[in-house]
Structure 1
Amino acid sequence: MTEIADIEKKDLLYKGKAKEMFTTNDPDIMWVHYMDQVTAFNGKKKVQMQGKGQTNCEISSLIFTDLAKHGIENHFIKQLDTNNQLVKRVKIIPLETVVRNFASGSFEKRYGVKHLMKFEKPVTEFFYKSDELNDPFINDFDAEALKVATEDQMNRIREIALKVNDRLKEIFAEMAVDLVDFKVEFGTTSDGQLILADEISPDSCRLIDRKTKKSLDKDVFRKGLGALVPVYKELLGRLEKVEDVQ
């Protein structure tokens, strides 16, 4: 692997809703740029917001670093500056893995349950990554039949996602925040290792302030509840005060 100090950004490989991915002079390392853009409803609602990319980059960097310290392998290598990271190159498995501690979002709509009903144990769900199909719900058997992931990979993804949930709940509890649910993605490295990838930020989590019951996540944008970036910055400020997350 090339020394980190010698890594150079090369060609744009992929531009998503919130990040741009660039190749580097090392085939196993990617350069990630967090954009000042926020989207909702699979990109149907999109706005430029200064400072959003920096805040998400910093939050995700802190969380990935903490998860690695707790034995959860992930793609994060280093935060380079305000909006840029180096990460391990992975082949993304086209699944969104969602872990829910409370009923919200599509689960609430699908089953008509009370908003923020607390589950006795976490619920793990999978969604097939496809903007054209609107990211449909998918189960283990579907994923295997479509050759999206193997049985072993599905079991491992579920296992890691629940470990991530355990640690995130601990972190957010220190911030007086309830983790309602979150989305993660996984990929395989060049040597076939399955690891956590993408990002963990208020773009990919639902977070509720325990005292005020206000949202501290992208629902602020989805529902038009106010300015988003100040909410994200408040969350980052709380995260930076958690003693174990440094």
Structure 2
Amino acid sequence: MLLWEVVTRREAHGSYLKRHVGVKRGTRFKELQVEFFLKTKGRKWKSFDKEHPSRTRVFDLPRDDPLAEVHYDGVYLYRPDEPFTPGTYFLRLENEQVYQKVTDVNLLSQMSLLAQHAFLLLEYAWAQLGYRLVDFKVEFGIGPDGRLYIADVIDNDSWRLIRKGKYVDKQGYRDGSKLDEVLRNYQEVAERSDHLARSIPRLVTWANRNLKRIP
């Protein structure tokens, strides 16, 4: 698995609102927004130089899974739970402190494209059933054939799905909804997901017609 969480957003929800205080919940973006978060554990990031093991460094972080801005000269890390202002990063990592190979940086544009394609496909599919898919989070990996793949389960824990103005995903649990209501929502989504599976041929046709370029 690659050390990135990739979030694709159609609307402003969740932590996005903490980083962009002036944006109202539910604001719809004209174009999909893609964010990268560096996967960390124990509020630490460990870089490792294979050619020079003595250069290994451990960085202490104020928060796990920081928002990452990728530039030619390194990866800039920001707190994901505070208002975002360009240039107010808490840490800049050199490229060699993040990527195992120089060419790994090219994977980010591929991840962004794949994430957007997957989102658009699911967004269309759920819309046919009367739901709004407003964001989702995916992770990636490299397969035995050396190709990049979405290597993650996309389910009710990793997306935000709205029907008739209400969340029917994990957000309800986060917001303190009663457990029986959360359970009903999960059951509803599970049942509706069966409809998605049966409509795969139609979705493939739609994808071939509409996913040649990202809007």
TM range (shorter): 0.5 to 0.7
Partner of 2:173: 221
1: distance between equivalents of 2:41 and 2:178? Answer: 27
Alignment of structure 1 residues 190-209 onto 2, 5 Å:
190-209=144-163
Alpha carbons 1:99, 1:123 under 8 Å: kept: yes
Q: Which runs of 5+ in 2 are unaligned?
A: 44-63, 76-92, 202-215
The size of the alignment, in residue pairs, is 153
* Bigger strand fraction: 1
Q: 1:144 Cα deviation (Å)?
A: 7.5
Alpha carbons 2:139, 2:151 under 8 Å: kept: yes
Classify 1:150/1:235 alpha carbon distance in 2 versus 1 (closer, same or farther; 3 Å): same
Fraction of identical pairs, as percent: 33
2: distance between equivalents of 1:241 and 1:175? Answer: 9
Deviations 1:61-90 (A, max 9, x none): xxxxxxxxxxxxxxxxxxxxxxxxxxxxxx
Alignment of structure 1 residues 6-155 onto 2, 5 Å:
92-112=1-21, 113-133=23-43, 134-141=64-71, 142=75, 145=95, 146-147=98-99, 150-155=104-109
Alpha carbons 2:133, 2:162 under 8 Å: kept: yes
Alpha carbons 1:172, 1:178 under 8 Å: kept: yes
Partner of 1:62: none
Greater than 6 Å deviation, 4+ residue runs: none
Partner of 2:128: 174
Alpha carbons 1:100, 1:124 under 8 Å: kept: yes
Q: 1:131 Cα deviation (Å)?
A: 3.2
Q: Which has the larger radius of gyration?
A: 2
Q: 1:125 Cα deviation (Å)?
A: 0.2
One-letter identity of the residue aligned with 1:98? V
Give the alignment's Cα RMSD to 1 decimal: 1.9
2: distance between equivalents of 1:129 and 1:221? Answer: 23
Deviations 1:191-228 (A, max 9, x none): 3211111110010001110x2x1111111111111222
Alpha carbons 2:137, 2:158 under 8 Å: kept: yes
SS of the residue 2:16 aligns to: helix
Q: Which runs of 5+ in 1 are unaligned?
A: 1-91
TM-score (norm. length: structure 2):
0.66
Classify 1:156/1:120 alpha carbon distance in 2 versus 1 (closer, same or farther; 3 Å): same
1:186 aligns to 2:155 (yes or no)? no
One-letter identity of the residue aligned with 1:217? D
One-letter identity of the residue aligned with 1:100? R
Deviations 1:110-136 (A, max 9, x none): 111101100011000000111323210
Partner of 1:7: none
Q: 1:151 Cα deviation (Å)?
A: 2.6
Alpha carbons 2:99, 2:105 under 8 Å: kept: no
SS of the residue 1:123 aligns to: strand
